[in-house]
Amino acid sequence: MLIEMKLNKNRLSFIVLAILSCSVNLSIIAQSAAGNLIAPSDRKATQETRILFSNMFKLVDSGVLIGHHDDLAYGVGWRNAQGRSDVKTITGSFPAVYGWDLSGLELGHDADINSIPFIQQREFVRAIYERGGISTFCWHLNNPVNGKTAWDTSIHTIAQILPGAAYHSAYKKYLDAIASYLITLKGDKGEAIPLLFRPFHELTGTWFWWGKNTSNATDFKTLWRFTIGYLRNQKGLHNLLIVYSTSDFKTGKEFLERYPGDSYADILGFDTYCRSESTKFKRDLVQSLDTLRQLTAAHHKLGSIAEIGYEGIPASDWFTKDLLPAITKKSLSYLMFWRNANTHHFYVPYSGQQSAADFTIFSKNKMTIFQNRLTPFHIYKL
């Protein structure tokens, strides 16, 4: 009996030591996991933002996150239908990335440029966060000098809104307006929802007031650095991953001509659209992605196609024949199809459209990640 008691005591001691050892090991693993997070450009980024950024890096080898602009708000032939999505109707799943626009906030409007009330947009962003999706924001901001639209290129705007310039205060009021809105995007525990922020998109183009035809590279970089610095340091927004997104480009030098520096960007990307000749599109896309892969590796950033699509999708096999082979194994984090406005202006198929079956095949490929595949990764957790 005495021997048995001693043996049981020894077993108990062994079990306790094993549990303590396991707890220590788990603690070390947890600390190691937190310490190994890939840091975003904002040194004060929130924990959730750091975790998202790091997990997006880890997902690159698993496939490309697929997104759609304004996906939950409207589609071809519908608007304000709860739970509806043209992507979900065709594939059975929501997209993994959801695009939104801040345009209208700077003017005090209640709805964005595509008539989505900001109250509704806020609820969409919260729902996306809860299901483990990602929201990205562009901003078609009106010209702060003359009040005209983002497409006004009649004047040299950037030089007039830099610090010390005549319309700098007007531009800061724009930033104050979007900051007041962005700070309200919080999860159930009051935490700031991590967001991808894509300012001055298609910056190497000539169609927006911030384009290369109305400003020089030095002034553009100054504006970008001021904008991001102001949102971070004056407005306390440390939940933004910054997307530097050009239009089509030919070389790495062209892509980086207006790059503000690694401290002011987390994701490098570009916007591109198939116009008519899909063979040329595919060839150019592969070339751009090869260059982008070199740039993201050199700068330790994520890569994206921030906007893409083929308006009206006239080819029934465009997604699997032209797009899928081009994006496979290109170290791409995500791509986002543009919006579905009506039967003439749409970029993912709707029910009955000729490319719907092809898009379904595209969605089931192991290299494409929609919401159904993304949710189990728990991208906001270690």
Write the CA distances from 162 to 79, 115, 140, 169, integer angstroms.
Answer: 39, 30, 18, 9
Query: Facing residues of 308 across strands?
Result: 272, 337
Backbone angles phi, psi at 205, to 5 degrees: -85, -170
CB 46 within 8 A of CB 192: yes
pLDDT of the residue at 276: 83
CA 262 – CA 266 distance, rounded (Å) = 7
Q: Is the pLDDT of residue 18 over 50?
A: no
The pLDDT of residue 34 is: 47
Residue 15 has pLDDT above 50, yes or no: no
Domain ranges within the chain, ordered by starting residue: 1-36, 41-377
The predicted model gives 208-229 an average pLDDT of 98
Q: Which pLDDT band holds residue 324 (cuts at 50, 70, 90)?
A: very high
C-alpha span between 376 and 382 (Å, rounded): 13
76 has a pLDDT exceeding 70: yes
Determine the Cα–Cα distance for residues 67 and 212; give it in Å rounded to an integer.
27
Q: How many percent of the chain have pLDDT more than 70?
A: 91
The mean per-residue pLDDT over the stretch 185-205 comes to 98
Residue 181's pLDDT band (boundaries 50, 70, 90)? very high
Task: Please report, rounded to a whole number, the percentage of residues in the chain having pLDDT higher than 90.
Answer: 88
Asked whether the predicted pLDDT for residue 127 surpasses 60, the reply is yes
Any idea which of 2-6, 77-81, 139-143, 175-179 has the lowest mean pLDDT? 2-6
The pLDDT confidence band at residue 278, using thresholds 50, 70 and 90, is: confident
How far apart are alpha carbons 158 and 186 in whole angstroms? 32
| pLDDT for the residue numbered 29 | 32
Q: How high is the pLDDT of residue 279? A: 85
pLDDT value at 280 more than 50 = yes
Q: What is the mean pLDDT of the chain?
A: 92
pLDDT given for residue 26 in this prediction: 32
- In this prediction, residue 27 has a pLDDT band, given cuts at 50, 70 and 90, of very low
Confidence of residue 8 (pLDDT cuts 50, 70, 90): very low
What is the arithmetic mean of pLDDT over 334-352?
98
Mind listing the pLDDT tens digit for each residue in 134-176?
999 999 999 999 999 999 999 999 999 999 999 999 999 999 9
The pLDDT, as a whole number, for residue 329 is 85
- The CATH architecture one would assign to domain 41-377 is Alpha-Beta Barrel (3.20)
Question: How does pLDDT run across 54-63, given as a tens digit for each residue?
Answer: 999 999 999 9
**pLDDT score, position 37:** 85
Q: Within 13 Å and on the Cβ side, how many CA atoms surround 93?
A: 23
